[in-house]
């Protein structure tokens, strides 16, 4: 070994490389835990830590695989998905951590259920395009995406063609919306005060719209605009109406236009088009008009390694699946100015996202 190699050795270079390289095993183990319904089983065992034998039997895992199953649980405890505790009978048992509490599928867990989001993010159709990122970066095509190189079509066309993917994607979005909206309606309630109507543009199957309609009964008209194949067959009810359409064409009028996880999927030119349509849809600031954007503001949590890394992960997803990007505050500011808006206010600290209130 020469001096340089020795230096790398003493700096833990190889373990660091392995740790980074093999971290996909954390994602796949998490997927496996969700598939096996482990968070639900631990949750239904109430407050008593469940031991490995009972946990395996509840799934069920055949007795000849208990040893392998124990090793899966060891990693999941190590990555803080579950915790391990000594029981009164001296055995060790598992409990949920805050992270796995939000993977429980029943709605009595008070934390929302993000397991459909886990299943979608590691679905082979979303994992495979990553193998094309290098090839895409080297090519001259600025219009297509690694997703298209992999599947032959862009993601929204693909979703239109494959109902199973469409359904899985929409379920993931609904659970993410419901989770985030729980935080928003508590922390940002004043942002909705005095509003009579709200339209959730690109609102999918209505996860966010329903949370808002429930939390703010004074908002009389709550509607969702999304692509026709997304809202097809969704029943209108007394609180939420669905409109099939295209945000690049026109947005129906409302006091508030809400857009959650929309702008990050589009380039600047496309975002300005959407913003201009938002501006046409709302009344003046004095009459209560505003656009509410729920998206990431990159580097909104300086010093928080995890949130910053989540934002960079999502930003690369926007290259791989769409033609978008996660924007920092200056990039957002430029978009707003170019679309003719006069002022904005940002509330950070909503998980990895921020709320931007934008005024005409
Ligand atoms: C990333 S998802 C976000 C869904 C939802 N806002 C949420 O956060 O759960 C983007 C949404 O934009 C919708 N969308 C894409 N192109 C659209 C268009 N041209 N007009 C309206 N909606 C569109 C998609 O169908 C999808 O529901």
| R_g of the chain computed on alpha carbons | 23
Residue 317 has pLDDT above 80, yes or no: yes
| Cβ(269) – ligand 1 distance below 6 Å | no
Which atom of ligand 1 is the closest one to the Cα of 177? 9
pLDDT single digits (tens) 11-39: 789 999 999 999 999 999 999 999 999 99
pLDDT of residue 47: 75
pLDDT single digits (tens) 99-124: 999 999 986 556 689 999 999 999 99
Residue 188 has pLDDT above 60, yes or no: yes
pLDDT of residue 46: 74
Nearest-angstrom CA–CA distance, 171 and 301: 28
Return the residue whose CA atom lies nearest to atom 20 of ligand 1.
Answer: 246
Q: How many Å lie between the centroid of ligand 1 and the Cα of residue 205?
A: 9
pLDDT of residue 107: 67
Residue 254 has pLDDT above 60, yes or no: yes
Return the residue whose CA atom lies nearest to atom 13 of ligand 1.
Answer: 202
Residue 347's pLDDT band (cuts 50, 70, 90): very high
Q: How many Å lie between the centroid of ligand 1 and the Cα of residue 354?
A: 18
Which residues, 6+ apart, have CB-to-CB distance to 142 below 8 Å? none
Contact by Cβ (8 Å): 322, 288: no
Residue 351's pLDDT band (cuts 50, 70, 90): confident
pLDDT of residue 106: 86
| Cβ(173) – ligand 1 distance below 6 Å | yes
pLDDT of residue 212: 94
pLDDT of residue 7: 66
Interface confidence: ipTM more than 0.95: yes
Q: How many Å lie between the centroid of ligand 1 and the Cα of residue 214?
A: 21
Q: How many Å lie between the centroid of ligand 1 and the Cα of residue 282?
A: 19
Which of 40-49, 93-102, 187-196 is predicted with the least confidence, judged by mean pLDDT?
Answer: 40-49
pLDDT of residue 108: 58
Q: How many Å lie between the centroid of ligand 1 and the Cα of residue 65?
A: 42
The preferred substitution site among 112, 177, 202, 326 for testing ligand 1, maximizing ligand atoms within 8 Å of CB, is: 202
Which residues, 6+ apart, have CB-to-CB distance to 109 below 8 Å? 43, 101, 102
| Cβ(30) – ligand 1 distance below 6 Å | no
| Cβ(246) – ligand 1 distance below 6 Å | yes
* Options 85, 151, 264, 305, the catalytic residue: 264
Contact by Cβ (8 Å): 314, 264: yes
pLDDT of residue 109: 56
Residue 3 has pLDDT above 80, yes or no: no
The CATH architecture to which 115-359 belongs is: 3-Layer(aba) Sandwich (3.40)
Q: How many Å lie between the centroid of ligand 1 and the Cα of residue 348?
A: 22
Residue 8's pLDDT band (cuts 50, 70, 90): low
Residue 278 has pLDDT above 70, yes or no: yes
Q: In the chain, what are the domain boundaries?
A: 3-105, 115-359
pLDDT over 70, % of the chain: 96
Nearest-angstrom CA–CA distance, 94 and 73: 9
| Cβ(262) – ligand 1 distance below 6 Å | yes
Residue 290's pLDDT band (cuts 50, 70, 90): very high
CATH class given for the domain over 3-105: mainly alpha
Average pLDDT over residues 272-290: 96
| Whether residue 151 lies in the annotated active site | no
**17-31, 141-155, 204-218: which is most confident:** 17-31
Contact by Cβ (8 Å): 188, 355: yes
pLDDT single digits (tens) 158-178: 999 999 999 999 899 889 888
Contact by Cβ (8 Å): 124, 311: no
| Cβ(204) – ligand 1 distance below 6 Å | yes
């Amino acid at each position: 070994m020469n001096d340089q190699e020795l230096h790398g050795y003493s700096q833990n270079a190889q373990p660091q490389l392995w740790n980074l390289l093999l971290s996909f095993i954390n994602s796949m183990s998490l997927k496996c835990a969700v598939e096996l319904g482990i968070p639900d089983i631990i949750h239904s065992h109430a407050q008593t830590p469940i031991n490995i034998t009972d946990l395996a039997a509840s799934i069920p895992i055949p007795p000849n695989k208990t040893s392998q199953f124990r090793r899966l649980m060891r990693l999941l405890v190590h990555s803080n998905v579950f915790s391990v505790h000594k029981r009164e009978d001296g055995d060790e048992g598992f409990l949920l951590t805050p992270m796995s509490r939000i993977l429980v599928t029943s709605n009595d867990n008070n934390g929302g259920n993000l397991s459909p989001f886990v299943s979608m993010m590691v679905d082979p159709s979303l994992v495979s395009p990553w193998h094309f990122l290098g090839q895409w970066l080297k090519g001259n095509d600025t219009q297509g995406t690694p997703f298209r190189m992999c599947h032959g079509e862009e993601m929204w066309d693909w979703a239109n063609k494959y109902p199973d993917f469409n359904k899985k994607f929409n379920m993931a979005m609904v659970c993410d919306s419901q989770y985030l909206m729980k935080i928003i309606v508590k922390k940002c309630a004043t942002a909705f005060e005095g509003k009579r109507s709200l339209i959730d543009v690109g609102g999918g199957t209505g996860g966010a719209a329903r949370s808002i309609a429930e939390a703010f009964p004074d908002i009389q008209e709550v509607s969702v605009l999304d692509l026709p194949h997304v809202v097809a067959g969704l029943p209108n009810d007394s609180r939420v109406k669905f409109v099939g359409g295209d945000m690049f064409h026109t947005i129906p009028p409302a006091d508030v236009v809400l857009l959650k996880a929309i702008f990050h999927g589009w380039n600047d030119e496309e975002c300005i088009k959407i913003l201009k349509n938002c501006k046409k849809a709302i009344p003046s600031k004095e009459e209560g008009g505003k656009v509410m954007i729920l998206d990431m503001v990159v580097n909104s949590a300086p010093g928080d390694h995890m949130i910053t890394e989540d934002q960079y992960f999502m930003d690369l997803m926007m290259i791989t699946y769409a033609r978008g990007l996660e924007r920092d505050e200056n990039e957002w500011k430029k978009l707003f100015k170019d679309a003719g808006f006069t002022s904005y206010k940002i509330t950070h600290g909503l998980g990895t996202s921020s709320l931007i209130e934008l005024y005409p």
